[in-house]
Amino acid sequence: MLTIRQIALSRPGLARLANPVLPLARLAGMLYLTGPFRALEDLLAVLNEPVETTGISYDRPAALLHPYLDALRPFERIKNPQPPSRLIFGANLEPAEQFIALDSWISQNVLTRELEEINSLLCGPCGCTLCCTGPSAGQAQEFFEIPLAENETALFDLPEFADEKTRAATPDDEPSLLVNGAPFYANQAALYGWRNGWSMILPRGSRCPNLDGGTGGCRIYPDRPEVCRRPQIFPYMLDREPARDMEYQGRFLPAFVIRAKILAIWDCPYVKQFQDEIAGYAQLCGLEPIFKQNKA
């Protein structure tokens, strides 16, 4: 349970949960597609009056949508057809109808951007470091993994292991990769180049080197890696489905399946505290909320 003070400090994040951008983004898409607008900017130039949709009032719709222009840009593909850049399937694994595919891709973009901000607003007041430390004594796992892009590894002052053996393995292999004669997770925190890409491994009792021992904050907060920006309410509008990737006219098209869900990780104190508000956010976005335990 969060304290009264922590709940009070969470108000800006809660206000964002109560007023999601996605319903407005969808309304803007319909106005753009049915109106005489060449580019989305032309629509925003006239969208200055308050609007209401799905029971939410948006006082300054153009200003609110402006940071989401890149996320909304795929709407322009309907007016300016372009070759496909991805494959989107419905939950029945049939190719999705064009508008549904477009809506799901844009929704994923909008939710990703908005939830990054909401998660930051809700995480700060918790004073929690669960995402930045290895398993504690009472937890079942031997290590936690933080996936990284290759260009993010330089952010961490840690030993690196990337050779033929690590490149042939994954952290979940049985038996585990041996490093210095012991399972990799029995060594100190380190960076590994696996078959599926880079990750930081935080063994039991360890912590990310960027976690400030004094303040409990992240020393590289503005530059933190992508994965650290996304805890612990996730857009799950689309699910990557590599088995359905395809070559099309000489190009590689990644495949996705529509899930239409918001996933929230139960381990996180603000997810536990604000379950109703997160479920309300999902419902306003027309999505199903799912709550899941991650770290046993």
Note the residues at the interface with ligand SF4 (CB under 6 A). Answer: 123, 126, 128-132, 146, 208, 210-211, 218, 220, 224, 228, 231-232, 267-270
Phi, psi of 92 (to 5 degrees): -85, 5
Report the half-sphere exposure of 187 (CA within 13 A, side-chain side): 19
Closer residue to ligand SF4 (CB): 1 or 243: 1
Q: Work out the angle at residue 14's Cα, subtended by the Cα atoms of residues 8 and 115, and round it to the nearest 5 degrees.
A: 130
Classify strands 143-148 and 197-203 as parallel, antiparallel or unpaired: antiparallel
Closer residue to ligand SF4 (CB): 65 or 264: 264
Closer residue to ligand SF4 (CB): 147 or 254: 147
Closer residue to ligand SF4 (CB): 53 or 129: 129
CB of 288 to ligand SF4, least distance (A): 21
CB of 110 to ligand SF4, least distance (A): 21
CB of 131 to ligand SF4, least distance (A): 3
Closer residue to ligand SF4 (CB): 211 or 260: 211
Closer residue to ligand SF4 (CB): 183 or 209: 209
CB of 269 to ligand SF4, least distance (A): 5
Q: Which of 66, 76, 62 is nearest to 105 (CA)?
A: 76
CB of 219 to ligand SF4, least distance (A): 7
Closer residue to ligand SF4 (CB): 228 or 258: 228
CB of 146 to ligand SF4, least distance (A): 6
SS3 43: helix
CB of 20 to ligand SF4, least distance (A): 19
